Chain A
Amino acid sequence: MTGAVMNPAWALLAPVVLGVLALAGAALNGVFVARAEGRPALSGAARPVLEVMRLMRQRRRVTVAADRLLWRIGGMALLVIALLKTAVIPLGPWILADISVGIVWFNAMDVMVWAGMWLIGWGANSAHALAGGYRFLAQAVSYELPLMFALVTPAVAAHSLRVSEVVDAQQDLWFVVWMPVAFLVFCGSVLAFSAWGPFATAAGADIAGGILTEVSGVDRLLIMAGRYALLATGAAFAVALFLGGGSGPLLPDWLWTIVKTLVLLAGFIAVSRRLSAIRPDRLAEVAWIVVLPLALLQTLVVSIIVAVRG
C-alpha cells in the first residue's frame, strides 16, 4: 500500500519525473499555440526544447540598480519550491517523505511562492515588473484562504494530514465525488499559484509582461520551468487528494498516478487558453465573499458526514 519506506536515493528520480511532466505540459501548450496560429502541431510540441536551447544561450539583460541577489533568489525559487513539494507527493505506492503533516507542508511551500514571485518582480527595479509582483500578492491573498480550506477538507475526511492516509481513505470512493467544491477550488488555486491561464495577471500583457518583463536567459528559463513544474506538482497533488491516487484497474499504481496527473495537467492547460484573465482587483471581492464561504460550507458538510458516520 502507499507509504512504503523508500531508499533516499530515489529522491534523485523525483526531479526527473517532475521534469518530464513539466516538459509534457510545455509541449502540450506548444501544440495548442501552434494550432491557434495555424502551424503544424508537431512544430509546437518541439517548441519547448528549442526554447530551452535558445534561453540557455541568451545573454542576461541587465537593468539599472537591480537588486541582483533577491532577483536571482526569486528566479530560482519557483523550481526549488516545486521540487520541495514533490517530497510529499505519492507516485503510486512510493512517497519520498511521508511526514505526518504532508498537507501542511504542501501548503507552506505554496506560500513560499508568494515570496518567489514578489522577489522576481522586485529585483528588476522596473515599474512593470514591480506591478506584476504586487499583483501576484494581491491575487495570493484572494486564493490562499479558499485553498487552505480546500486542503483541509480531504484531511478531515481521512482523519489525517498524512498524504498516504488520505490516499488510502479513498479506497471505496474518490473524494472528488463528495467534495467537488473543494476540488474545484483546489484546481483554481493551482492555476493561481502557478500564475497560469486566467490567473496569469502577474505576467499579464496589460502590464507588458509583468514579472517577466525584464528577465531573460537562464533566469527566464528557470521561471518558466518553475511555473510548469508548479502546475505539474499541483496536478499530482490533486490526484492524491481527490482522485484516489494510484487506484485504478489493470495498470500498476504508479502508472495510474502519472496518467491521471497528465490528464489533469492537460485539462489545466486546455482550459487556461479559453478563459480571459481575471484581474486581482476583481477577484478579491469574489474570493472573499463568495468562494471562501462556499469552501467553508464544503468543509462543514464533510465534517458533518464524517461525524455522523463516526
Chain B
Amino acid sequence: MLSIIVFSALAIIAVASGIAVFRVDSMARATYALAVSFVAVGVMLVMFDLDYIGVITILMMVMEMAIMAIYMIMFMGMNPALMPMSMVHNNRWSAILATGIFLLLAAGALLVPWPARSGTAAPDLTVAVGEALMGSKMLVMLTVSPILFATIVAALVLANPRGRYDRWGDNLKRVCPDDPQQGGLGK
C-alpha cells in the first residue's frame, strides 16, 4: 500500500515537472524541472530494487542538466527574470499527435494481457549486472564503449573551431599554444 502511495506521488512529480519543462518561462527553471523529472524516475527505479541503475540515473541526469542549463542560456539568451517565451511551431498538431499516441499506449498497457512474472531477481542486482556485463553479455560493453569514445571525438571535432594548427602554429613548433584563454599546461 505504502509503495503505491509513494509511487503515485513520484509519478505525479515526474509528469508534472515534465509538463513544466515546456510551460515555464525561464530556461533555468525548464532545465531543472527536467532534472526533477529524472530524479523522480530514478527513485522509482530504486523502488524496483534497481539501486545501481536508479542512483546512476540520478547522478548522470543532474550532471547533464547542470550542463544543459549552460547551453539553454547560451543559445536562448534571456535573463533570469521570468520573460514570457513562446518558441513553438505546429503547436496544435503536436498536442493532438502526442495525446493520440498517449491514448494508444495507455490503452495498450491496460488491455494487453501481460504474461506472468518469470524468474526471480538475483539477490545482489549490482553484482548480477556487473557479471552479465563482463561475462555473458560482454559484446554489449564492447559495442557501447567504442560508440561512446567515437561520440567524444565527434562532438569535439564538430564543436571546436580551432584545430591544432591554430594553436601550435603552422609547423606545430610553438612552445606555448596561442589560446584566447591560457590553459594550465604549456610554458
Query: A residues engaging B (CB < 8 A)?
Result: 65-67, 69-70, 99-101, 104-105, 107-108, 111-112, 114-115, 118-119, 122-123, 125, 134, 137, 140-141, 144, 161, 281-286, 289-290
Contacts and interface: CB of A to CB of B under 8 A. Distances in A.
Contact of A285 (B65, B126, B185): B185
Contact of B51 (A101, A114, A290): A101
27 contacts: A65-B79, A65-B80, A66-B80, A70-B28, A70-B29, A99-B51, A101-B126, A108-B59, A111-B62, A111-B66, A112-B62, A115-B65, A115-B66, A118-B66, A119-B28, A119-B32, A125-B81, A137-B66, A137-B67, A140-B66, A161-B126, A281-B181, A282-B183, A283-B184, A284-B183, A285-B184, A289-B185
A104 B55 contact: yes
B70 interface: yes
B15 to A, nearest CB: 20
Contact of A108 (B32, B55, B82, B185): B55
Interface string B50-72: 01100110110011011101100
Contacts of B26: 67
A302 to B, nearest CB: 17
B125 to A, nearest CB: 8
| Chain B contact patch, size range | 20 to 34
Contacts of A101: 51-52, 55, 126
A137 B126 CA distance: 30
A281 B183 contact: yes
Given A101-B51, A115-B66, A144-B63, A282 B184 contact: yes
Contacts of A100: 51-52, 124-126
A108 B62 contact: yes
Most chain A CB within 10 A, of B62, B66, B69, B125, is at B66
Contact of A123 (B35, B80, B126, B181): B80
B177 to A, nearest CB: 10
Contact of B55 (A105, A283, A286): A105
Interface in B4-41: 26, 28-29, 32, 35
B69 A118 contact: yes
B136 interface: no
Most chain A CB within 10 A, of B26, B51, B125, B182, is at B51
A204 B8 CA distance: 44
B185 A281 contact: no
B80 A67 contact: yes
Contacts of A69: 29
B184 A286 contact: yes
